Amino acid sequence: VSNFKIIESTLREGEQFANAFFDTETKIKIARALDDFGVDYIELTSPAASEQSRKDCEAIAKLGLRAKTLTHVRCNMSDAKMAVETGVDGVDVVIGTSSHLMEHSHGKDITYIKNTAIEVIEYVKSCGKEIRFSSEDSFRSDLVDLLTIYSAVDKIGVDRVGIADTVGCATPRQVYDLVRTLRGVVSCDIETHFHNDTGCAIANAYCALEAGATHIDTSVIGIGERNGITPLGGLMARMIVADRDYVKGKYKLEKLKEIEDLVAEAVEVNVPFNNPITGFCAFTHKAGIHAKAILNNPSTYEIITPSDFGMSRYVHFASRLTGWNAIKSRAEQLDLRMTEAQIKAVTVKIKALADVRPLAIDDADSIIRNFHFNLSADKE
């Protein structure tokens, strides 16, 4: 599963998030931040969407980013021409292939889709641009239809084919099967795109890589249509556990929080409390048993090293679940010298109060300080 590439779609899929409105300046900030982070591609809203979208595409294509720029358009000649004219490095085309979309959305049949796709791909290639062909709603499309189209576009030299779980219905096992099958049919790269309606977007991305996919679509904190897609940070969490050296070597992980904050602020949401890596409690250890083990050796209850992302671990020491090891560590942080027996005694006090009401850090600290103060007072 190493060697995957990220197609970062905050500036395309992410713009489909309910709250998203990115002005040009914000788009440029986000594009530069993602580029600095090290994503491979930055995907931009179609120039056919609006006049400003077209101008923004041109502006970002001109920035001279290290990441390749892409724009995402419908699979037809007029969109493809507009896309090429923006100056981006590559064009992602998409068309619905499920019976739902063929009947109720664009009304075209598979032969028509195949012929149009071939015309569009040949045109984009002739302009010297990278080209990806993807089928919307792939998991509710007929497998024979899908494989027919993908093998046809593979033969004429498309750079990538894409599978999209547009409605978020796919399970990891279905993803594995479809990507595996496709891997046996095409020789080009395989990109995958997973919506998160049932919470499977990260797992599905991982399974796609296991089955031979090469590219994963992400957005920052997962923003997109409905409840969004595979989040960049969540994918990093999943992948650093799989291959720490690759992930650490390739991406500036310590920038993740900054990028998430930038995007969260731009779309006026908070980063969720349980967000992988950057959620406020992602590295907080609370129960006495956990705290003791973590203080001894973090690998006991931490699969991800917080410092890889510039984050820090936090050992909770102000609850009814607290054990004396956490209090000992806190006393050391406060520079208070106490014997083990004393630590155990103050732990009893803290737990007794925490059984009555929630304690703030300050409450627990005061108890420890007072206890320590009284110890020295006793001595005099």
* Catalytic residue IDs: 290
CA torsion, ordered 254, 260, 266, 268, to nearest 10 deg: -140
What long-range pairs does 106-110 form, CB within 8 A, spacing at least 24?
110/145, 110/148, 110/149
The pattern of x and - marking residues 8 through 47 that bind Cu ion according to CB under 5 A reads -----x----------------------------------
Residue with structure tokens 């004393």? 342
The correct pick among 11, 164, 326, 346 for binding ligand HCA (CB under 6 A) is 164
According to CB under 6 A, which one of 39, 70, 88, 94 is a site residue for ligand HCA?
94
Say which residues have a Cβ less than 8 Å from residue 169's Cβ, sequence separation at least 6: 139, 140, 197, 198
Give the Cα separation of 260 and 279 in Å (integer). Answer: 10
Cα separation, 347 vs 64, whole angstroms: 58
Beta strands 189-194; 160-165: pairing state: parallel
Binding-site residue total for ligand HCA (CB under 6 A)?
Answer: 13
Length of the chain (residues)? 380
Closer of 72 and 330 to ligand HCA (Cβ): 72
Residue 166 in the binding site for ligand HCA (CB under 6 A)? yes
* Residue 281 vs residues 231, 285, 315: alpha-carbon distances, Å: 18, 8, 10
Q: Does 168 interact with ligand HCA (rule: CB under 6 A)?
A: no
Binding mask 43-82 for ligand HCA (x = CB under 6 A): -----------------------------x----------
Among 8, 10, 13, 354, binds ligand HCA (CB under 6 A): 13
Query: If binding is defined by CB under 6 A, does position 92 make contact with ligand HCA?
Result: yes
C-beta of 41 vs 283, nearer to ligand HCA: 41
Cβ-closest position to Cu ion: 13
* Candidate list 14, 47, 90, 162; residue touching ligand HCA; CB under 6 A: 162
Give the Cα separation of 106 and 92 in Å (integer): 18
8 A C-beta contact, residue 368 and residue 332? no
Backbone torsions φ then ψ of 285, nearest 5 degrees: -115, 130
Judged by beta carbon distances under 5 to 8 A according to partner kind, the member of ligand HCA, Cu ion, none in contact with residue 162 is ligand HCA
Q: Does 146 bind ligand HCA (CB under 6 A)?
A: no
193 binds ligand HCA per the rule CB under 6 A: yes
Contact footprint for ligand HCA (CB under 6 A): 13, 16, 72, 92, 94, 134, 136, 162, 164, 166, 193, 195, 225
